[in-house]
Amino acid sequence: MRRVDIFDTTLRDGEQSAGVNLHPHEKVEIARQLERFGVDVMEAGFPSSSKGDFHSVQQIAGTIKNCKVVGLARATMHDIDTTWEALRNAEHPGIHLFIATSPLHMEYKLKLSQEEVVEKAVWSVKHAAKYFSHIQWSAEDATRSDWAFLAHIIEKVIDAGATVINLPDTVGYTTPQEYAELFTYMVKTVPSISKVKLSAHCHDDLGLAVANSLAAIKSGVHQIEGTINGIGERAGNASLEEIAVALEIRKDSFNVKTNIDLKQTIRTSQLVSKLTGMIVPQNKAIVGANAFAHESGIHQDGVLKNKQTYEIIEPEMVGLNSNKMVLGKHSGSHAFKDRCKELGINLNQEEEKQLFQSFKELTAKKKEVTEDDIFALMMDSSFKGPTSGYELELLQVTYGSNLIPTATICVKTPEGTKIQESATGKGSVESIYNTLSRILDQSIELVDYRIQSTTNGHDALAEVYVKIRMNDTITNGRGIEHDVLEASAKAYLDAVNRSLIKAWFGYQSKGVGIL
């Protein structure tokens, strides 16, 4: 069977989703899980876009050992040199260069002629070759480019030293048949195409990203790009978990294999969902809550008699099984540590101590602790987040059917001082947020508010996700507690802290066009 590489861009293209801003330690956590998932190439970020992204890529480069770690770069000396500085200590470093090739982009965005674009692309690959042996070159907006010109520039960058050629469907415009024909044309037209790997990168604006990616595989590409849960700009990217499972279930049709460990699918999806705050739709293929649910009486009857009547995917294949833990309030730190290792949670000594303390506090409130509870605690901003932000010290809410909801809150500032205020609102949550706005003395707009439970049962942890607009940027926040109102307050403060960190490290991209 032919081997197809999996290129994950969750930490770059996925993080460009509106409102998503991950802390460096959260990016490392996702990177570790992607490594366990078995991706071949991990795009860790866009190092030259901000100081924050540079440091995150650098940290991931020093952590990941079993797959290539690449950084995105424009065709400029600054971008290429910066990417090398971020990745020079990686076990398997690589660079992902891009430049637009469609008439629309060349005329209105780049304001360059075809000859100038070719010259710039060739120069950038030659300069990158001074540092990197793995050089991926992408023709931005390839599916709306002139095919003859595309073949010409591809030949030139291959001669310059490119090792992977990516033809992205940047705006989700193409169809499966057109995309397959594009790759077939390049294979027949570009003389040196056999020297490189061909890669496909699809966006989902027309809902065709996965279908287009699978069509590209049929046409013979060597690498598929996408994100976990299909997150990304606009309508997102191709969902890697859907592609990986499709290739396994329909190997009779595709006749290819990947390095993906499918049993890590659910875990990877849940981790990305919780850390980004982007909830997986219940009806989403493979990883949605309803993916293996059968409500129809006819379906239930068939499944009970033979699963294959209505179930083409075994839940165990993607890692969906019982998540009950045998740990309880009498469990010791050694048993807890061993269980965390089984779950793929790698922590240093101080982090283990903090997580174990959080676990013991949880067992005092919750009789049955589940795997999801442990992951929720691990991802709680209060556990591994920055210590220099605002912290909730006290929360008191007065509510009744004939009373005006009133919140009294004390917050510890980054400087260590404590501020206490009270405010009212139309409901309990609004009174909390009005109080926090008064304490912070900032113009903050609540853009979105969502709540869900970590597990089933009356004693489940509450997870609250919020999006706020602060300092002209949108950031998200996450809060996890038994009490919904306390989780709401923590989520709001987490979003504020992320906004401040984002401004401090310059996380905002520079507004350049990217894949």
How do residues 182-225 score in pLDDT, each as one tens digit? Answer: 999 999 999 999 999 999 999 999 999 999 999 999 999 999 99
d(CA 493, CA 412): 11
Query: What value does the mean pLDDT take over residues 156-171?
Result: 98
82-105 pLDDT, tens per residue?
A: 999 999 999 999 999 999 999 999
- State residue 452's pLDDT score: 86
What's residue 63's pLDDT? 96
pLDDT at 443: 87
Average pLDDT over residues 385-413: 89
> Does the pLDDT at position 270 exceed 60?
yes
Give pLDDT, residue 244. Answer: 98
Name the DSSP class of 143: G
pLDDT of residue 381: 47
pLDDT at residue 138 greater than cutoff 50: yes
At 351 the pLDDT is 78
Give the pLDDT score at 513: 54
pLDDT, mean of residues 290-317: 68
Average pLDDT estimate for 308-336? 74
How far apart (Å, rounded) are the C-alpha atoms in residues 293 and 307?
12
Q: What is the pLDDT of residue 310?
A: 63
Range name among 44-48, 72-76, 116-120, 330-334 with the lowest pLDDT average:
330-334
15-28: per-residue pLDDT in tens? Answer: 988 878 888 888 99
Q: What is the mean pLDDT of the chain?
A: 89
Please give the Cα distance from 415 to 10 (Å, whole number): 34
107 touches 133 (CB < 8 A)? no
Instruction: Give the model's pLDDT for residue 388.
Output: 67
Residue 403: alpha-carbon gap to chain centroid:
43
Whether residue 372 is predicted with pLDDT greater than 90 in this model: the reply is no
pLDDT for 509 equals 46
pLDDT score for 136: 98
Please say whether the beta carbons of 427 and 414 come within 8 A: no
Task: Give the pLDDT band (50/70/90) at residue 10.
Answer: very high
CATH number of this structure's domain 387-505? 3.30.160.270
What is the Cα–Cα distance from 154 to 166, expressed in whole angstroms?
Answer: 10
For residues 503-507, average pLDDT: 60
Q: What is the pLDDT of residue 290?
A: 85
Q: In residues, how long is the chain?
A: 515
How much is the average pLDDT of 488-505? 86
What would the pLDDT profile of 30-48 be if each residue is shown by its tens digit?
Answer: 999 999 999 999 999 999 9
Give 432-465 pLDDT, tens digit per residue: 999 999 999 988 999 999 998 877 677 788 889 9
pLDDT of residue 160: 98
- How many percent of the chain have pLDDT more than 70? 89
Q: Judge: domain 2-276, CATH 3.30.565.10.
A: no
The stretches of 141-260 forming alpha helices (DSSP H) are 147-160, 176-189, 209-218, 240-249, 251-254
**Three-state DSSP state, 401:** coil
Residue 302, pLDDT score: 58
pLDDT for the residue 439: 96
Model confidence at 490, in pLDDT bands (50, 70, 90)? very high
Which pLDDT does position 382 carry in this prediction?
46
Q: Are 216 and 224 in contact (CB under 8 A)?
A: yes
Going from N- to C-terminal start, the domains of the chain cover 2-276, 333-383, 387-505
- What is the mean pLDDT of the segment spanning 426-435? 96
pLDDT tier at 380 (50, 70, 90 boundaries)? low
pLDDT band, very low/low/confident/very high, at 504 (cuts 50, 70, 90): low
